[in-house]
Structure 1
């Protein structure tokens, strides 16, 4: 990993490169294609925060957060539903894993969530051998005991600035 890591918004100039980003074949069952993520971001622009991960001029990943979403969860005594923010999608290009790009992307999502005043980040992952569970647990996420469809829900408290 170099000091030239950065996130970029998806633009007309880089959207085709984003759609061409592929994870390793054995990971395809764990993450949706970037094109689908971008379509979902387009359909829900108030919720989605899609970004591309670059190392210098090289596209190495894609991350998308969901921000300030109400899920109809039990709220505080005043009856208000709690907001949730978290990691919606993460894809690191085939051959680029293990270089810190995923951690960089998750850290950037956490920073954005903190900037917006939230104190917890949520993530879901599909269970299975070769899946992302170990990665998320190493970053500090813990299982909540909830499921979102067939995916495990994890969360992590963010540092209190």
Structure 2
């Protein structure tokens, strides 16, 4: 099951992804989740710093609806999951930040669907994600999209996988 964009999006324009550029950097940095969700996802500024340091594997994108920035995502591509050269190469969603006032409108579902499409185009058949457990965390969202828990733990986070 691959998530598809939700029909409940608030704007008649189609949501889309844009690479982070000098022109939209301010809009990306302005994306903030609800305060009660801050424990579950790093701020965009940290993600962009990590994208700079891990440029060979990071795929950061601004989620736009028309000319409005509504979220940010960062995928990881073809990454040695165990960092030990074992060949456990994985791709998936590293970060997903939907702006506090844009939540519940289908942008998260759109983002997961867009990453699914990108991974399939790259020949990937499994889509990985991790999430911080806890109240107000994203577990129900990911499980609702068809991700299944792998039983693994990655630095205290739950690991999920979706077969593409």
Q: Which runs of 5+ in 2 are unaligned?
A: 1-8
Distance 1:10 1:71 in 2: 25
Question: Which string of whole-angstrom CA distances, capped at 9 and with x for unpartnered residues, describes residues 54-81 of structure 1?
Answer: 111110000100000112489xxxx962
Corresponding residue of 2:6: none
Aligned residue pairs total 154
CA contact (8 A) 2:131 2:139 kept: yes
Aligned CA distance change for structure 1 residues 41 and 73 (closer, same or farther; 3 Å):
closer
Q: Which runs of 5+ in 1 are unaligned?
A: none
Question: Which string of whole-angstrom CA distances, capped at 9 and with x for unpartnered residues, describes residues 62-107 of structure 1?
Answer: 0100000112489xxxx96232000000000011111000010011
* TM-score, normalization by structure 2: 0.90
Distance 2:155 2:54 in 1: 19
Corresponding residue of 2:158: 152
Corresponding residue of 1:52: 62
Q: RMSD across aligned C-alpha pairs, in angstroms?
A: 1.6
Q: Does 1:94 align with 2:103?
A: no
Distance 1:24 1:34 in 2: 13
- SS of 1:41's partner is helix
Q: Does 1:85 align with 2:91?
A: yes
Aligned CA distance change for structure 1 residues 72 and 28 (closer, same or farther; 3 Å):
closer
Aligned CA distance change for structure 1 residues 47 and 97 (closer, same or farther; 3 Å):
same
Q: Does 1:129 align with 2:139?
A: no
- SS of 1:95's partner is helix
Aligned CA distance change for structure 1 residues 16 and 71 (closer, same or farther; 3 Å):
same
* TM-score, normalization by structure 1: 0.91
CA contact (8 A) 2:71 2:96 kept: yes
Corresponding residue of 2:26: 16
